[in-house]
Amino acid sequence: MPWISSVDQLAACQKLDMPSLNVYHGSQNDVTGEDVMWADDFYRSVKKTNHLITETNAQTIGWDSKGQYPPFDGQGRLFVYSHIAGGANMVEYWHWHSIHYGQETYWKGVLSHDLEPNRFYGEVSQTAHELKKIGSKLVNLKIKNKTAILYSRDSEFGLSYMPFKDGNAYMEVLRQMHRAAFRQNIGVDFVLAENADFTGYSLLLVPPLYVASDALLTKISDFVKNGGHVIMSVKSGFCDENSVVRHVKAPGPLKEAAGFYYQEFSNIRPIPLRDDPFKVGIDKNKAKDWAEFLIPETAKPLALYDDMFFSKYPAITENRFGKGSFIYEGCLLTDEVQSKIVLNKALEIGLTDKDTHLSYPVVMKYGTNDQGKTIRYYLNYSNVEQSFVSGYANGTDLLTNKQLKKGDSITLKPWDLLIVEE
């Protein structure tokens, strides 16, 4: 199950040939894509192999009958290909047919209680026949990304003892950073604090790194000095590896790379950022929950608070350090602002291209198959037909065998998809 903090993932994965996941997701209007694919990205990164999906939503789930949401037409099939696009080698359902008594009566299978073919069975059957035909071109996908999210289990635990907001703020920011990349089609891996290695990455996204050794912070600082780019959230560098607050001005060993220090912080109700610097509109243009009173030394402000008191301190800063750059978010932000920060940096350093950029609800994923070919997925995560121009190499639509040329117009029906072999 993708509750990553309750298990020592590195130790557990060492014993496995291939990790397998039981991953459940929202359905109907609560389908996001992100809630499935972050798990694929995580387990693929930890073990650096492909993986299996051993349980996922069939018709409906629930230990009672209060949250039954059978998928809209196409959603079941979309999830199968999304997992494969994320590195899965198998998708299996819990379970074949619905049970007639007991706790999982309404944790429904591919078949309903009547044991007869139905709408969902029809979709599973279609997908299975497709995979029978083209599966050998999809399996064992190799995925290589330039962006990584740093996951620190110690920080998650440390913040759970001294939370700065209700809920699991650590995971909220981690998931928000993943969502930002996901929705902008910037492929991401995860790097674990325990064996952090940033080799090969250009951009590092850092959720609240509340607990960290000097060594880890120095590694991040050196990554920037040598040309890497960092986007980091609040509370980072505050404590040492024993969750003891450092006796120096925050953010401790990150001070030079970050280009500021702070001595104070405050919980906040939502505060607008002055002049909507990321052009996300009045409802989304907000800092929230937490504000550090950043005092820049070499950093430049990217956003200011529009508030009588807090306006003395920048909300977000960027510091050029060595050959790289360091963006620090001194507050929590809306999804929309986070998404723009990630996109702007990705465009700046060439992780995506203004002319061919696709964004959610079109999800684009790619990798290399056993035959060394690039397999590219276009997935429509919406109720609405999507049209766009193909910005990538010529190739073959694997499901229809039609040829696709760069510059061709592509149309995806609601919850439908396209798989191109380039």
**CB neighbour class for 356 (10 Å; exposed up to 12, middle 13-18, buried from 19):** middle
Binding status of residue 211 toward a second copy by CB under 8 A: no
Nearest to 50 by CA among 86, 88, 85, 20: 88
**Residue 373: which region, alpha, beta or left (left: phi > 0; alpha: psi -120 to 50)?**
beta
Residue 64 CB, nearest approach to a second copy (Å): 5
Helices (H), 200-272: 214-225, 255-258
Nearest to 234 by CA among 217, 263, 209: 209
Nearest to 343 by CA among 328, 353, 333, 334: 353
Q: Which is nearer to a second copy, 114 or 355 (CB)?
A: 114
Binding status of residue 70 toward a second copy by CB under 8 A: yes
Q: Which is nearer to a second copy, 94 or 164 (CB)?
A: 164
Q: Which is nearer to a second copy, 1 or 244 (CB)?
A: 244
Q: Which is nearer to a second copy, 18 or 248 (CB)?
A: 248
Residue 139 CB, nearest approach to a second copy (Å): 32
Residue 239 CB, nearest approach to a second copy (Å): 9
d(CA 126, CA 120): 10
- What are the backbone angles phi and psi of residue 52, rounded to the nearest 5°? -120, 145
Residue 27 CB, nearest approach to a second copy (Å): 9
Give, as one character, the DSSP assignment of residue 258: H
Q: Annotate each residue in 297-316 with x if it binds a second copy (CB under 8 A) or - if it does not, as one string.
A: -----------xx-------
Binding status of residue 382 toward a second copy by CB under 8 A: no
Q: How many residues bind a second copy (CB under 8 A)?
A: 47
Are the beta carbons of 54 and 22 closer than 8 angstroms?
A: yes
Token pair of 322 as six digits? 């060595």
Q: Which is nearer to a second copy, 86 or 207 (CB)?
A: 207
Binding status of residue 101 toward a second copy by CB under 8 A: yes
CA dist 35 to 31, 32, 38, 82, Å?
8, 6, 6, 11
Binding status of residue 125 toward a second copy by CB under 8 A: no
d(CA 112, CA 119): 10
Q: Which is nearer to a second copy, 66 or 405 (CB)?
A: 66
Residue choice 215, 245, 389, 393 for contact with a second copy (CB under 8 A): 245
Which run of H or E residues covers position 176?
A: helix 169-183
Residue 60 CB, nearest approach to a second copy (Å): 8
Q: Which is nearer to a second copy, 121 or 378 (CB)?
A: 121
Residue 235 CB, nearest approach to a second copy (Å): 8
Binding status of residue 30 toward a second copy by CB under 8 A: no
Q: Annotate each residue in 248-287 with x if it binds a second copy (CB under 8 A) or - if it does not, as one string.
A: xxx------------xxxxx--------------------
Residue 131 CB, nearest approach to a second copy (Å): 24
Binding status of residue 244 toward a second copy by CB under 8 A: yes
Binding status of residue 119 toward a second copy by CB under 8 A: yes
Q: Which is nearer to a second copy, 10 or 248 (CB)?
A: 248
Residue 284: how many other CB atoms lie within 10 Å? 17
Q: Which is nearer to a second copy, 120 or 326 (CB)?
A: 120
d(CA 404, CA 412): 14
Q: Which stretch binds a second copy (CB under 8 A): 46-54, 110-118, 129-137, 189-197?
A: 110-118
d(CA 402, CA 258): 51
Q: Provide the total of helices (H) and of strands (E) in the chain, helices listed first.
A: 9, 22
Token pair of 168 as six digits? 């699991």
Which run of H or E residues covers position 94?
A: none
Rg (CA), the chain: 23
Residues making contact with a second copy (CB under 8 A):
28, 59-60, 64-70, 72, 98, 100-101, 105-106, 112-116, 118-120, 161-166, 243-250, 263-267, 293, 308-309, 383
